[in-house]
Structure 1
Amino acid sequence: MTDRARRVMVLAEVEAKRLRSTTVEPEHVLLGLADEGSNVSVNVLRRLWPGFEQFRSAYNAIVPAGDGNLCDPASCSARTERLVARAHDEMQQLKVNYVGTEHLLLAISRELLAISRETDGFVPQLLVACAIRPEDIRRETYELLGHGDLARKDGTPADF
């Protein structure tokens, strides 16, 4: 992982602790991507949602605080572990030897394309509230990275 991607995971853990979550969840990773500052993922989200400055407010309105104990360092949920594995898949598809913030965002979008938007976690709700579609995330990320040929018109990767 790049330094920024590692920082995103640290920020995700901080957010999980703030919300008293028992595990680090994908929604914490998404907020970590947004909070990290200047990275490919932030650029993609800004392009897709002009109201990006209100991302934290939208997040706070949707993601509730938990009632659990503070999470253990590196205690990722199964969904977050799957997200990190998918980020590695994205890295391989782009033929690079590092996992960057862009791969984490692509993994989030791939996960969303594979699940029901209404039933699995807070990330789908957050992106719907921000009018951001997972296929748009994929298309915009590939275009920003100069790999527009990897995304089909619907935004899914060619091998999906």
Structure 2
Amino acid sequence: MSLDRSEIFLNYVESFNKRIEALHRAEEYFRQSSIIEAVSIPTNKLGKFLDRKIEEFNNTITQIDRDFLDGLNPDLAHREDYSSARKEIRREFGVQRAELFGLIYRVIDDMIEKRSKIDKNYHEDLAAIESKFMDGKIDQTEYINTILGDF
């Protein structure tokens, strides 16, 4: 039994919208879980952690795309047209994935840069407080309260 073109189109649109929703959920999960976990990871181990998160995200995106492509209705007028349409959709997914990962790497770079600035500012502030203490500008109680106040 052959589906008419409008039903095929509506099924495609519904599947495509589900794919977009799944991509948004995956991206949001990646973003939130990465930020939450990255806070507790030392800067020198952040690269390996982010590589693992990106690999996990890439696998999720690949599965979403695979599920979408597998769900397309093969009962179209010509199998060749269907095959070429799948190839074109895969090519477009590749382009979109590259753009998405470009954005993700920019977010990661921003996270690393912000964390480095925070670490640098903290160490500069700590050095300034220690210098004031060593120079006798603040007493031991104020020094301890200032240091412990940061924790």
More helix by share: 2
Higher relative contact order (CA 8 A, sep 6+): 1
TM-score (norm 1): 0.26
Please, what TM-score do these two structures have when normalized by structure 2? 0.27
Compare CA radii of gyration and give the structure with the larger one: 2
